[in-house]
Chain A
Amino acid sequence: MNKKSLPSFITVIDIGTHKTTALTAQVIDGRARMLGFSERRTDGVVKGTVIDVEKLHASVHEVVNDLERVSQRAVEQIYVSIAGPSVEGERVKGICIVPAHDGRITKLDYQQAIDSAKRLEPPAGRITLLHMRQPSILDNKPVGNPVGQQGRRLEVSFWRITMEEGNVRFRVSMANGMSITVRDFILASHAAACAVTTDSEKQGGVCVIDIGAGTTDWVLYFKGHILCSGSIAVGGEHITNDLSIALRISRETAEDLKLRFASGLHRDQDVNQTIWKDGDKSVGDQQFNRGTITQVSSLRYQEILSFVRKDIIIQLEQIFSGHEVKLDQNFLPSGVILTGGSANLADAAEATQNVFGLSARVGIPKFDNSSLQKSEYAGVVGMMIAALEDAPPVVRRQKGFMDILRDLFRF
Chain B
Amino acid sequence: MSTTPSILLVGLGGAGCGMVSRIAANLPPVVRVALIDTDASVLNTTAGQEVFQIGRPLTRGMGTAGEIAVGQAAVEADEPTLRRLFTGYSLVVLVTGLGGGMGSGGAAPLANIALDVGATVLSFATIPFSHEGERRKRQATEALEKLAVKSHGLVVVENDLLALQVAADASLSAAFSAADEWIAGSLRALASVFTPGALVPVDPAALKTILEKPGSPTLFSYGVGQGSGAALIAAKAACDSSLAHGPGAITKVGSLFVQVTGGLNMSATDAFEAVSIIRKKFGGEKTTLLGACVKPELGDRVEVAVLGASLPVPKPATKTKKGAKGADSNQPVFVFATEESIRRGIFSNTPLTFRDGADIDVPTYIRKSVRLTPAS
User: In the complex the two chains form, what is the Cα distance from A307 to B354 in whole Å?
Assistant: 12
Question: Which chain B residues border A271 with CB–CB below 8 Å?
Answer: 373
Distance in angstroms from B261 CB to nearest chain A CB is: 25
| Interface presence of B228 (CB below 8 A) | no
CB-contact partner of A241 in B345, B368, B370, under 8 A: B345
User: In the complex the two chains form, what is the Cα distance from A49 to B375 in whole Å?
Assistant: 35
Which of B71-79, B116-124, B356-364 binds A? B356-364
User: In the complex the two chains form, what is the Cα distance from A274 to B373 in whole Å?
Assistant: 12
Known contacts A233-B353, A289-B375; decide if A303 and B346 are in contact (CB<8 Å). Answer: no
User: In the complex the two chains form, what is the Cα distance from A244 to B346 in whole Å?
Assistant: 9
Find the residue from B246, B345, B347, B366 having the highest chain A CB count within 10 A.
B345
Chain A residues at the B interface, C-beta cutoff of 8 Å: 46-47, 49, 51, 232-234, 237-238, 240-242, 244-246, 248, 251, 271-272, 274, 287-289, 291-292, 295-296, 299-300, 303, 307
19 residue pairs A–B, Cβ–Cβ below 8 Å: A47-B353, A238-B360, A241-B345, A241-B347, A242-B345, A244-B345, A245-B247, A245-B343, A248-B246, A251-B345, A289-B376, A291-B373, A292-B373, A292-B375, A295-B370, A295-B372, A299-B368, A299-B370, A303-B364
Tally of contacts, chain A with chain B, CB under 8 A: 84
Q: B365 touching A295 by the CB < 8 A rule?
A: yes
User: In the complex the two chains form, what is the Cα distance from A157 to B334 in whole Å?
Assistant: 55
Q: B376 touching A274 by the CB < 8 A rule?
A: yes
Q: A242 touching B347 by the CB < 8 A rule?
A: no
User: In the complex the two chains form, what is the Cα distance from A303 to B362 in whole Å?
Assistant: 12
User: In the complex the two chains form, what is the Cα distance from A25 to B177 in whole Å?
Assistant: 65
CB-contact partner of B365 in A272, A291, A296, under 8 A: A296
Q: B346 touching A237 by the CB < 8 A rule?
A: yes
Chain B residues at the A interface, C-beta cutoff of 8 Å: 240, 242, 245-247, 342-347, 350-351, 353, 355, 360-361, 363-366, 368, 370, 372-376
User: Sorted from nearest, which 5 A-B pairs have the closest CB atoms?
Assistant: A248-B245, A242-B363, A291-B373, A299-B364, A241-B345
User: In the complex the two chains form, what is the Cα distance from A154 to B195 in whole Å?
Assistant: 90
User: In the complex the two chains form, what is the Cα distance from A238 to B364 in whole Å?
Assistant: 9
Known contacts A234-B360, A272-B376; decide if A245 and B370 are in contact (CB<8 Å). Answer: no
Dominant secondary structure at the B interface: loop
Q: A242 touching B365 by the CB < 8 A rule?
A: yes
Distance in angstroms from B77 CB to nearest chain A CB is: 41
Q: A241 touching B361 by the CB < 8 A rule?
A: yes
Q: B363 touching A241 by the CB < 8 A rule?
A: yes
Question: Which chain B residues border A47 with CB–CB below 8 Å?
Answer: 347, 350, 353, 361
Question: Which chain A residues border B351 with CB–CB below 8 Å?
Answer: 49
Known contacts A248-B245, A289-B374, A295-B372; decide if A46 and B365 are in contact (CB<8 Å). Answer: no
Q: A288 touching B372 by the CB < 8 A rule?
A: no
Q: B246 touching A245 by the CB < 8 A rule?
A: yes
- The residue of chain B having its C-beta at the shortest distance from the C-beta of A311 within the complex is B355
Q: B345 touching A51 by the CB < 8 A rule?
A: no
Distance in angstroms from A47 CB to nearest chain B CB is: 6
- The residue of chain A having its C-beta at the shortest distance from the C-beta of B374 within the complex is A289
Q: B353 touching A234 by the CB < 8 A rule?
A: yes
Question: Which chain A residues border B374 with CB–CB below 8 Å?
Answer: 289
User: In the complex the two chains form, what is the Cα distance from A291 to B368 in whole Å?
Assistant: 17
CB-contact partner of A245 in B345, B350, B368, under 8 A: B345
Question: Which chain B residues border A289 with CB–CB below 8 Å?
Answer: 373-376
Q: B375 touching A300 by the CB < 8 A rule?
A: no
Distance in angstroms from A312 CB to nearest chain B CB is: 15
A-B contacts besides A241-B345, A246-B363, 20 pairs, CB < 8 Å: A46-B347, A47-B347, A234-B360, A238-B361, A240-B346, A241-B361, A242-B364, A244-B345, A245-B342, A245-B366, A246-B365, A248-B240, A272-B376, A289-B373, A296-B372, A299-B364, A299-B365, A299-B368, A303-B364, A307-B355
